[in-house]
C-alpha cells in the first residue's frame, strides 16, 4: 500500500501522481494543509512534500521518490536504460528544479514573498495561486500596469533609473494606484527622497552587500549595515502616499496592508 502526502496543485505532487499513473500503481492520497505541516513532519521528520509511505518505508523529495518507484516497481520504467543516461536525466531534473521551478518550490518551503527582476505572468500567477505575494521587476509604465493587472501586490522598480525619485513621482502622477518598490539605487543617504516621492516600500541591495564584505563572509558587518539602513529609513516621516482611483481594482493588491 502506498500513501501519498502532499498539497493540492503542487507541481511536485503532479510529477509523482503522473509517475504512479504511468506505472499503473494505486496510491491513497493524504492531503496536507498549506498552513499545517505537522502531519508530514510526524511521518517524515521534515516539512517538504510530496512524501510517500510504502509499507513503512518513507521517501520524500520528488526525484528521490521517482528513483524509489523505479527500483521497487521496475515494470514500465520512468528513467532510460543505462547508468549514464539516468545520470544525465538526474542532472537535467536538478537543473530544471533550480531554474524553472523556483516559485512553487520556494512556496512549498515556506516563502511568502516571491521577488523577481523581471515580469513573468506565469511566476506571478503561481505565486498568487499558492497564497504568496508577488513582486515582479518592472521599469516602464506599461510593465507597471501589466504587473498590477496580473495581481502583483507590489511592483519592483528594476533597474533603477538615473533619477529614481523623480521617475517614481512622474509615474505615480497619473497612476497613483501603483505600489512601486525601488531596490537598486536606494541608499541610506537618498532613501528620504524615494519615500518623499511616494514609494510603497524600499529595498537596499548594494549598500548592504559590498563585494569585499561578501568575499570575506563578514555577516556581522552585513548586519551592521542593515541596521544602519533600517535606522535611516525609520527616522523619516512618511508622507501621505498618492491616492486616486484604481481602474483595475485588483483584490490581491488591496489585500496587502502598508
Among 157, 152, 162, 158, smallest CA distance to 172 is for 157
Is 240 buried (19+), middle (13-18) or exposed (0-12) by CB count in 10 A? exposed
Strand spans (E) along 47-117: 51-54, 57-60, 113-115
Cβ atoms of 198 and 241 within 8 Å: the answer is: yes
Per-residue pLDDT 10s for the chain (258 aa) are 899 998 876 778 888 999 999 999 999 999 988 668 889 999 999 888 899 999 999 999 888 999 899 999 999 988 888 888 878 887 877 776 665 565 666 666 667 888 888 998 888 887 887 778 899 999 999 999 999 998 899 999 988 788 999 999 999 999 999 999 998 889 999 999 999 999 999 999 889 988 898 888 888 999 999 999 999 999 998 888 777 778 776 444 444 544
3-state secondary structure 150-210: HCCCCEEECCCCCCHHHHHHHHHCCCCCCCEEECCCCCCCCHHHHHHCCCCCCCCCCCCCC
DSSP helix/strand/coil, 61: coil
If you search the block for the grid coordinates 511536485, which residue do you land on?
A: 12
* pLDDT at site 99: 58
- How many CA within 13 A on the CB side of residue 156? 22
Beta bridge partner(s), residue 29: 4
pLDDT of residue 251: 47
Assigned C-alpha cell, 156: 519592483
Q: Which domains does the chain have, with CATH numbers?
A: 2-102 (3.40.30.10), 112-254 (3.20.20.70)
In whole angstroms, what is the distance from residue 258 CA to residue 251 CA? 15
Q: What's residue 36's pLDDT?
A: 80
Angle between helices 11-22 and 62-72 (to 10 degrees): 10
Q: Which three cell numbers stand for residue 80?
A: 532510460
Amino acid at each position: 500500500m502506498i500513501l501519498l502526502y502532499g498539497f493540492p496543485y503542487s507541481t511536485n505532487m503532479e510529477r509523482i501522481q503522473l509517475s504512479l499513473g504511468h506505472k499503473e500503481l494505486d496510491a491513497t492520497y493524504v492531503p496536507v494543509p498549506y498552513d499545517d505541516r505537522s502531519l508530514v513532519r510526524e511521518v517524515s521528520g521534515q516539512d517538504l512534500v510530496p512524501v510517500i509511505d510504502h509499507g513503512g518505508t518513507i521517501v520524500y523529495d520528488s526525484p528521490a521518490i521517482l528513483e524509489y518507484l523505479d527500483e521497487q516497481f521496475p515494470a514500465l520504467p520512468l528513467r532510460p536504460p543505462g547508468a549514464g543516461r539516468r545520470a544525465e536525466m538526474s542532472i537535467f531534473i536538478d537543473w530544471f528544479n533550480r531554474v524553472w521551478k523556483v516559485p512553487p518550490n520556494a512556496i512549498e518551503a515556506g516563502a511568502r514573498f516571491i521577488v523577481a527582476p523581471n515580469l513573468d505572468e506565469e511566476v506571478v500567477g503561481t505565486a498568487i495561486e499558492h497564497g504568496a505575494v508577488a513582486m515582479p521587476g518592472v521599469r516602464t509604465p506599461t510593465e507597471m500596469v501589466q504587473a498590477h493587472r496580473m495581481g502583483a501586490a507590489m511592483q519592483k522598480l528594476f533597474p533603477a533609473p538615473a533619477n529614481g525619485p523623480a521617475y517614481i513621482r512622474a509615474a505615480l502622477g497619473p497612476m497613483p494606484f501603483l505600489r512601486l518598490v525601488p531596490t537598486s539605487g536606494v541608499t541610506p543617504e537618498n532613501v528620504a527622497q524615494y519615500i518623499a516621492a511616494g514609494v510603497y516600500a524600499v529595498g537596499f541591495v548594494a549598500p548592504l552587500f559590498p563585494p569585499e564584505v561578501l568575499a570575506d563572509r563578514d555577516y556581522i558587518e552585513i548586519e551592521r549595515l542593515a541596521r544602519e539602513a533600517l535606522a535611516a529609513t525609520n527616522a523619516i516621516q512618511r508622507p501621505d502616499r498618492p491616492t486616486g482611483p484604481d481602474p483595475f481594482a485588483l483584490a490581491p493588491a488591496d489585500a496587502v496592508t502598508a
